[in-house]
Structure 1
Amino acid sequence: MFFYFLFRLGQFLAWILPRSLAYCFAALICRLKFTLGRKERVFVINNFRIILAQDGKNTYKYARNLYGNFGRYLVDFFRAHQIDRKFVDKFVRIEGRENMDAALAQGKGAIGLSAHIGNWELSAQILGVLGYKISVVALVHSNPRIDNFFNNQRRITGVKVIPVGVSVKQCFKALKNNEIVGILGDRDFSGKNGILVDFLGKQMLAPRGPVILSIRTGAPIVPVFVIRDEKNEHYFKYFLNKPIYPQSSSDAEDNIRQLTQHYVKIIESYVKRYPDQWYLFREFWRAEKVIII
C-alpha cells in the first residue's frame, strides 16, 4: 500500500509541476537514492565496468546519470495523459516508421520488440497515438492497485495490456488481426525457459518467447527504441529498425537461438550507444550468466 501511495504522490507532483521542474525534482530524488543506497550503487557501478569495458571515473558518472534518467522516465510515465499527437509531433523524432509499415503490410501483425532502455512505455504509447493498434505484454504486479495504476497509464493512449501468464492466446489473436504486440526482449520473465546467447562479451539468458511467437505466426520482429535526447531532456528519438523475418529450419532450437541472437545484438548496439539509459539496478553478471532486471 505504501508504494501505491508513493506512485500516486509522484503522479500528482508530475502533473502540477512544470515538466522541467518535475524532471529536476525526480532526478534529484533518484540520485539521492544512488548516493544513500551503497549496496545497489556498488552493483550498478560494477555493471558499468562491464558494459563500458573500463574502470574509473566514467563508471561512476554513468551510474549516477542512470538514476537521473530513470527519474525523468518516471515523470514521463506519470504524465501519460499528455502524450497526444501534438506532443509526438513536437518532441519526438521518428526514424524508420516505414519499417513498421512494411512489417504490417504482410497482414500477419508485427512484434514490436524493445528493452528496458530509454522509455519503452513511450514506444508503445507513441504507436497508439499514431493510430496503430497495439497491445503490450506486461508483468502482473503483486499489488492489484499498483497493477491497475500502471495499466491505466498505458491505456490512456489506446494501448491494450496483455498480462503475462495469459498472454499466448491474446498475442496470437492480436497478430491474427494484424496488430502490433509489444514485448521486452532483455529479460526472461519465466526465469527457466530462456536461451543463452552472446551479449556484451558474456552470455545472456534471453527470452525465447518473441522468436517462437514470430515463427508460429509469421509475424516479423521490429526492434523499437525510444531514446531521450542527450542534449535536450525534453526531446526523444524513436528508432524503428528493419524487420527480422522468421526463417524455417530443420533444427528448431538452433533457429530460435540464431533469431534471438540477431535481436539481442541490436539491443546490445543501443546499450553501447546509450549506456546510462539502460536501467539495471541489481547485480548484472553472476556465475558467468547475465542476470537482467
Structure 2
Amino acid sequence: MMARVASWIAVALFWLLHWLPLGAQARIGAAVGELLYRFAGRRRHIVNVNLRLCFPAMDEVERARIARAHFRALGRSMLERGLLWWASEERLKGMIRLEGREHVDALIAAGRPVLLLAPHFLGLDMGGARFAMEFDSVSVYARQNNPVFDHWLFHGRSRFGDQLLLSRQDGVRGTVKAMKAGRPFYYLPDMDYGREDSIFVPFFGVPAATITGLSRLSRLARAAVVPVVTEMLPGGKGYVTRLGEPWANFPTDDVEGDTLRMNQWIESVVRTMPEQYYWVHRRFKTRPPGEKRPY
C-alpha cells in the first residue's frame, strides 16, 4: 500500500514539473542525478564497472567525470518523462527535432519494411514519442512490476498515432507481420537478456551476451535497418532524433558477423556522447562458461 502511495506521489510530482520550462526541468533533473550519484551506491558501482571494462585506457579521473555526467543526464531523463505523459504534441515537437525522416519515407514509399535500430541512450523514449508523431509503428513493451508506473509508461508509449505495442511473449510473428504491413519496428536489442537467443560477441572488446534479433528479424521481414539515436542537448535545449541511412549489405548469411556489426556501430555512437548511454544496466552480467561476473 505504501509503495502504491509513493508511486502516485512521484507521478503527481512529474505532473507538476512538466509545466515548467524545459531548462528549469533540466536543472532540477541534474540535481536529482547528483543525489543519485552520491547515494545510489549499487547503481554507481555498476556504472563504474561498465566504464572500466569499456574504457580501460581511460584514466580514473575521466571515467569519474563521465559517471557523474551520466547520473545528471539520467536524472533529467527520469523527470522529463512527465513531458511524454502530458505535454502537448505541439510542445514536444518544438523540443524534439527530427532529422533524416526522408530515409524512412523513401523505404515506405518503395514498399520496404523498416526496422529501426534504437540503442539504449537516455533520450530513447523522447525519440520514440517523436517518431510516433510521424509514423504508426510497432514496438515491444515490457510490462512493469509497479502497476502505477506501468499505466503511465504504457500511456506515454501509445498516446500519439496508432501504435502497436507487443509483449516479448508474443514472439516474432506479430512483429514481422506488422513490419510487412507497413509499420516501422522501433527495436531495442542492446541489453543483456540472458543466454536464450544470445551469442557472445565483443562490445568494447568485452564478450557480451547479445541477442541476434536484428539480423534474424531483418531477414524474416526483408526489412531495411535504419539506425536511430536521440541525443539529449545540454542546458535544457531539447533533443534531436537522428535517423540514419539504411544499412547496406544487411543482413548477411553470417548472423554473428551481423551482430558484431551492430555492436561496433553502437560503440561508435557511444564514443561521441559516452555520458548518455544507459550504463546503469548490467550489460556484462551473463558471462561465458567459467568466467566470473564483474559486478
CA distance in 1, matches of 2:165, 2:92: 22
Change (3 A) 1:105 1:207: farther
Cα deviations across residues 212-271 of structure 1 (Å, max 9, x unaligned)? 1111110111110110124x432222221221354453xxxxx22122222222111111
SS of residue matched to 2:155: helix
CA distance in 2, matches of 1:234, 1:108: 35
Determine whether 1:121 maps to 2:130: no
1:226 pairs with one of 195, 216, 230: 230
| Aligned residue in 2 for 1:252 | none
Cα deviations across residues 10-65 of structure 1 (Å, max 9, x unaligned)? 42232243332222222212221210123332331232233333122211111111
CA distance in 2, matches of 1:283, 1:182: 22
Query: Normalising by the residue count of structure 1, what TM-score does the alignment of the two structures yield?
Result: 0.86
Q: Name stretches of at least 5 consecutive residues in structure 2 with no aligned partner.
A: none
CA distance in 1, matches of 2:293, 2:128: 25
Change (3 A) 1:41 1:163: same
Name the stretch that deviates more: 150-159 or 212-221.
150-159
- Alpha-carbon shift at residue 112 of structure 1 (Å): 1.0
**May I ask how many residue pairs the two structures share in their alignment?**
284
Change (3 A) 1:76 1:225: same
SS of residue matched to 2:80: helix
Change (3 A) 1:111 1:9: same
- Alpha-carbon shift at residue 157 of structure 1 (Å): 2.0
CA distance in 2, matches of 1:161, 1:108: 21
Determine whether 1:277 maps to 2:276: yes
CA distance in 1, matches of 2:183, 2:121: 23
Cα deviations across residues 188-211 of structure 1 (Å, max 9, x unaligned)? 435422122222122221111222
CA distance in 2, matches of 1:272, 1:291: 24
2:98 pairs with one of 89, 94, 100: 94
CA distance in 1, matches of 2:292, 2:77: 24
Q: Name stretches of at least 5 consecutive residues in structure 1 with no aligned partner.
A: 250-254
Name the stretch that deviates more: 199-208 or 219-228.
199-208
RMSD: 2.6
| Aligned residue in 2 for 1:82 | 87
Asked whether the 8 Å contact 1:214–1:220 carries over to 2, the reply is: yes
CA distance in 1, matches of 2:210, 2:72: 27
Change (3 A) 1:173 1:123: same
**Aligned letter for 2:62?**
N
CA distance in 1, matches of 2:106, 2:258: 19
Q: What are the equivalent positions in structure 2 for 1:192-203 lying under 5 Å apart?
A: 192-203=196-207
CA distance in 1, matches of 2:268, 2:243: 14
Change (3 A) 1:136 1:283: closer
SS of residue matched to 1:72: helix
2:16 pairs with one of 8, 13, 33: 13
Asked whether the 8 Å contact 1:199–1:264 carries over to 2, the reply is: yes
| Aligned residue in 1 for 2:142 | 139
| Aligned residue in 2 for 1:111 | 115
| Aligned residue in 1 for 2:185 | 181
Determine whether 1:149 maps to 2:152: yes
**Aligned letter for 1:143?**
N
SS of residue matched to 1:21: helix
**Aligned letter for 2:20?**
L
Change (3 A) 1:207 1:290: farther
Query: Normalising by the residue count of structure 2, what TM-score does the alignment of the two structures yield?
Result: 0.85
CA distance in 2, matches of 1:133, 1:291: 40
Change (3 A) 1:60 1:205: same
Determine whether 1:46 maps to 2:14: no
Asked whether the 8 Å contact 1:44–1:280 carries over to 2, the reply is: yes
Asked whether the 8 Å contact 1:204–1:291 carries over to 2, the reply is: no
Asked whether the 8 Å contact 2:179–2:185 carries over to 1, the reply is: yes
- Alpha-carbon shift at residue 6 of structure 1 (Å): 5.0
Cα deviations across residues 124-154 of structure 1 (Å, max 9, x unaligned)? 2111212x11121121212343322211011
